[in-house]
């Protein structure tokens, strides 16, 4: 396959959308350049509090400093804040902090753009107090790179927010989950082991689960110990549980297996009542966090905590997301998830 070539600002901004797989909103997006080659893409939420700009810029530069091959970086701010004539440049302290910290890390900031709802522009125009000349977003659709990526089958979704399956538990499936939970409570060792083996068979066997099988697995996941065991086993690595749960292993996880687990967890939601939904929702959010999809992970956490405000793992992950913590797998090009 021919290498991807960026020859214009429209190409670069189009590439950011294709690299992420969706069009970012209120986001800072950075693309590493490794000599003349394109490196990893990083997306983080733009800061809502300007009091912690230095910490924010330092953390972003740190994530890029992990890539030993990176020599330069492209930056774009995707925001709906006004930035045309008569408006000051938004996030100016952020951009200055990023330039300073990237320079300290030995990375040259090649270009910075600002992307709005209808147009984009160079962040640093001829007049340093204003952004550069606005270009309509339609220019992205006609860029050479966008045409090439579309030809290769790449599409840019409007958002990375997952389509959360509608909870559609019937009285029969809800009763089945409750009955399975009672059986497991009566004989925990046998019941939880059977639920784990069933999960593994469904995950690795690729067979279509019945409602009764889904009910048994969903009942098992109400147990915190089994839930964590299933999460830690999902990447298919022989590593300590804490390292796997935090996505902090040197070896890349088996992303195809995690993708299959994601599909199975979404099937569980189709039979889940609100009282049983927090576990699969949180696990789906955990997978998104592993993949570096912070916005999608936060959406799952929000829904999980709506159903169960005291669900501990959802609250913990929500705090990690709020602090801007990115899983170690998502930070390294050798281990990160790549859009299929």
The verdict on 196 and 131 lying in the same domain is no
The verdict on 207 and 84 lying in the same domain is no
Backbone phi and psi for residue 237, each to the nearest 5 degrees, phi listed first: -115, 145
* pLDDT band at 237; cut points 50, 70, 90: very high
Report if residue 166 sits inside a domain: no
**pTM for the full predicted model:** 0.69
pLDDT (0 to 100) of residue 1: 44
- Per-residue pLDDT for 285 more than 80? yes
State whether residue 115 is helix, strand or coil. strand
CB 333 within 8 Å of CB 66: no
- Per-residue pLDDT for 308 more than 60? yes
- The residue out of 151, 185, 220 marking a domain boundary is 151
Q: Tell me the chain's radius of gyration from C-alpha atoms.
A: 22
Adjacent-strand bridge partners of 29: 43, 76
Host domain of residue 57:
9-151
Report if residue 271 sits inside a domain: yes
Adjacent-strand bridge partners of 119: 136
Backbone phi and psi for residue 28, each to the nearest 5 degrees, phi listed first: -100, 125
Most confident of 21-35, 98-112, 190-204: 190-204
Report if residue 222 sits inside a domain: yes
Alpha-helical regions (H) of 208-311 = 211-221, 224-233, 241-245, 255-269, 278-291, 294-307
The residue-averaged pLDDT of 13-20 equals 85
Q: What is the pLDDT of residues 158-182, one digit of tens each?
A: 665 666 666 777 888 889 999 999 9
Mean pLDDT of the chain: 86
The residue-averaged pLDDT of 285-299 equals 88
* pLDDT band at 339; cut points 50, 70, 90: low
Q: How far apart are CA 302 and CA 288, in angstroms?
A: 13
pLDDT (0 to 100) of residue 160: 59
- The residue out of 151, 184, 211 marking a domain boundary is 151
- Per-residue pLDDT for 130 more than 90? no
pLDDT (0 to 100) of residue 75: 94
The residue-averaged pLDDT of 289-307 equals 88
Here the CATH number for the domain that contains residue 131 is: 3.40.140.10
Most confident of 15-29, 159-173, 282-296: 282-296
Number of domains in the chain: 2
Report if residue 340 sits inside a domain: no
Where are the strands (E) in the chain, listed by range? 27-34, 37-45, 72-78, 108-115, 119-122, 135-136
Q: What is the pLDDT of residues 178-215, one digit of tens each?
A: 999 999 999 999 999 999 999 999 998 877 899 999 99
Report if residue 305 sits inside a domain: yes
The residue-averaged pLDDT of 64-93 equals 84
- Per-residue pLDDT for 225 more than 60? yes
């Amino acid at each position: 396959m021919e290498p991807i070539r960026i020859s214009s600002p429209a190409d670069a901004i189009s590439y950011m959308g294709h690299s992420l797989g969706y069009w970012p909103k209120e986001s800072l997006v950075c693309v590493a350049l490794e000599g003349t080659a394109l490196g990893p893409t990083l997306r983080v939420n733009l800061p809502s509090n300007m009091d912690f700009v230095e910490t924010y810029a330092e953390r972003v530069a740190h994530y890029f400093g992990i890539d030993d091959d990176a020599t330069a970086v492209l930056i774009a701010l995707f925001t709906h804040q006004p930035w045309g004539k008569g408006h000051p440049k938004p996030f100016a302290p952020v951009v200055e902090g990023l330039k300073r910290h990237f320079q300290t890390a030995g990375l040259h900031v090649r270009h910075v753009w600002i992307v709005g709802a209808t147009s984009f522009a160079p962040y640093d125009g001829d007049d340093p107090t204003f952004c550069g000349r606005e270009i309509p977003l339609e220019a992205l659709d006609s860029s050479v790179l966008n045409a090439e990526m579309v030809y290769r089958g790449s599409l840019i979704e409007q958002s990375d927010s997952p389509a959360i399956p509608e909870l559609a538990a019937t009285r029969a499936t809800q009763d089945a989950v409750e009955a399975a939970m009672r059986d497991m409570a009566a004989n925990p060792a046998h019941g939880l082991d059977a639920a784990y083996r069933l999960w593994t068979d469904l995950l690795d066997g690729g067979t279509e689960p019945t409602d009764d099988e889904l009910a048994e697995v969903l009942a098992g996941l109400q147990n915190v110990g089994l839930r964590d065991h299933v999460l830690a086993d999902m990447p298919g690595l022989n590593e300590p549980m804490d390292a796997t749960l935090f996505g902090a292993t040197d070896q890349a996880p088996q992303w195809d297996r995690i993708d299959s687990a994601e599909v199975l967890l979404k099937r569980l939601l189709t039979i889940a009542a609100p009282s049983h939904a927090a576990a699969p929702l949180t696990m789906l959010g955990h997978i998104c966090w592993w993949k570096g999809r912070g916005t999608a992970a936060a959406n799952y956490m929000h829904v999980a905590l709506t159903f169960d405000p005291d669900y501990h793992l959802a609250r913990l992950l929500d705090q990690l997301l709020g602090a801007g913590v990115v899983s170690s797998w998502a930070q390294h090009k050798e281990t990160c998830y790549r859009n299929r």
